Amino acid sequence: MEIVQNAVAGTLESNDVFVSVEPGQGKLDIVVQSIVFEQFGKDIFNAAQEVCVQLRVENASLRLEDRGALDCTIKARVETALKRAGEVNNA
């Protein structure tokens, strides 16, 4: 999937994660900020990366601001943000 525009998904509420996506600079960049970064930073990164691989996103810049989201929430929010950034209409 080609990332063609900026997009966001999620919120900064507890148990959620706010994901921002921008077109990349020739590679995949994922930055994670989390209230539980020491314990789960790597897991959050891996969850985001897994969704990028599934959607074949190779050139994008992702920023995740985590508020204690579960794996299933992180994946849903990343998928939503990527699809919004990759398509003009996503109804």
Contact residues for other proteins (CB under 8 A)? 9-10, 13-16, 69-73, 75-77, 79-80, 83-84, 90-91
Closer to other proteins by CB, 25 or 53: give it. Answer: 53
Closest contact distance (angstroms) between CB of 86 and other proteins is 12
C-alpha–C-alpha distance, residues 91 and 89, integer Å: 6
Closest contact distance (angstroms) between CB of 9 and other proteins is 5
Beta partners for 56?
none
On whether the CB atoms of residues 20 and 62 are closer than 8 A, the answer is yes
